[in-house]
Structure 1
Amino acid sequence: MPARARPFPVKPPRTTGVGPTGAKGIDSPPLNLQIPSLDIAAAVMRVGVDEDGRIGAPPLSVSDKVGWFKMGPRPGAPGAAVMVGHYDNTTGPAVFYRISELTPGRRVFVTRKDGRRLRFVVTKVATYPKDEFPAREVYGDPGHPALRLITCAGAFNTTTRHYLDNTVVFAKLITGRRAAGPMDRR
């Protein structure tokens, strides 16, 4: 009998979600996520872990929202901030339906509660079977502020009612005052 596939199957490492003491704005949670090239503008809600200790997701009833893993780094803090979103639901496409279309160089924006709008650049997009999910690469500390976007992908298992794969978008924080470039608008 095959293992039961889960929406976001991997147990993330236990962290506090709070950056170094005294770092300006580092404790400010994300409020919304924008991906201009895909016409995505979504509110962000906090998610934790489910009863199995796996990263949670927004309820399917709010499939237009993105979940930020509140037990990990906040966007802009050192480490990989993780956001999850549904691929679809029973009524059609959801917030992350098209994230597999992102390519390196595209921009992702996160607006935090402190009003700061952070810019991230996509460095990699990959799809993994859930039973081979590279937890260390996705959740591990890359040595700089980073963002990971995760959704379901691949074939749908009608028995378990879950997709068999996950798509992960890897992005890193862009610093400096450079204005939005042409990759932000495509």
Structure 2
Amino acid sequence: MTEQKSPTNRAMPALLIAGSLGGVGAIMVGLLSLAPAVDDGSGPGPIAQPEPSTVQIQNAGAFVLPPTVGPGGKNTPLTPARLDAPPPLAAEPLVAPIPAPKKVGVKATKVRPTRIKIPKLKVNAVIGAVTLDKKGNLTTPPLSKPNRTGWYRYSPLPGELGPSVINGHVSTRKGAAVFSRLRELAKGDHIYVYRSDKKVTRFTVSGIEQVSKSTFPTARVYGNTDGSQLRLITCGGIYNKKAHSYTDNIVVYATLSKKKG
């Protein structure tokens, strides 16, 4: 992990511009709105991926960003949307969120996501928990476990009301990690998240973008939503060997499209 700005400073520009994203539901608003970008660049260098500077060159001097998050897709450059842009629209009909477990008894309070599967990327990974460190930075799974993902434990359970956040490494010292191919996802692709209460949720990708960590769209990623949504986050862009960090984040947006259990 490299040094980052405090979450308050990182979040303020997005919150000032995109304050209208405040929505419905009793999710951890205070913590979510202050959560920073994910710094996943502890590996020795980037894995093979399209030249990231293309996005920077396209926007250099123009300062005009798309009003919506792009759909992604093969041979499609990933560009950031305007900071005040809302999350992308659902690609499939929405499904009602799963009610939050009642705060009664030990079993009900310990429901957690356990596994994530992304058929297109051949991802089948255990989900652990991540939180904020003493500096207010969002932590990541241990580098010693490159195929493990991390659920931000102060975000909603996958399938419940609000944006559930799961991150993972793009690379480690041993090479490619669990989210090394995350940038290949596109609108319409499916993501499955399994929970300890035997419920299975299917999310459909609605959009994907590559954003600079210095202008991370905090409100769009962590802000309240009217339905159940999922955010997958990893690193991208240029790798700084001295700082052991990538310049950007890849963010995948998805909405609940099926549930069972």
d(CA) in 2 for partners of 1:13, 1:163: 27
User: Is residue 65 from structure 1 mapped to residue 148 from structure 2 by the alignment?
Assistant: yes
**Kept in 1: contact 2:117–2:191 (CA 8 A):** yes
Please list every run of at least 4 consecutive aligned residues from structure 1 whose deviation after the TM superposition is greater than 2 angstroms.
9-13, 19-23, 25-28
- The residue number in structure 1 matching 2:60 is none
Code of the aligned partner of 1:93: A
Pairing 1:117-132 to 2, within 5 Å after superposition: 117-132=200-215
More strand by share: 1
d(CA) in 2 for partners of 1:22, 1:99: 34
**Kept in 1: contact 2:231–2:254 (CA 8 A):** yes
Code of the aligned partner of 1:96: F
The structure number with the bigger radius of gyration is 2
Which of 180, 190, 204 is equivalent to 1:97?
180
In structure 1, list runs of 5 or more residues that go unmatched: 178-186
- The residue number in structure 2 matching 1:14 is 31
1:143 to partner: Cα distance: 1.1
1:117 to partner: Cα distance: 1.1
In structure 2, list runs of 5 or more residues that go unmatched: 12-28, 33-98
User: Is residue 162 from structure 1 mapped to residue 245 from structure 2 by the alignment?
Assistant: yes
Code of the aligned partner of 1:35: I
Q: Secondary structure at the match of 2:238?
A: strand
- The residue number in structure 1 matching 2:93 is none
d(CA) in 2 for partners of 1:114, 1:35: 20
* Higher relative contact order (Cα pairs below 8 Å, separated by 6+ residues): 2
- The residue number in structure 1 matching 2:120 is 37
Q: Percent identity?
A: 34
List per-residue Cα deviations over 1:7-54 (Å, max 9, x = no partner): xx8679416xxx75649x896210000000110000000111112112
**Kept in 2: contact 1:26–1:77 (CA 8 A):** no
Which of 80, 86, 106 is equivalent to 2:189?
106
**Kept in 1: contact 2:113–2:194 (CA 8 A):** yes
Code of the aligned partner of 1:56: T
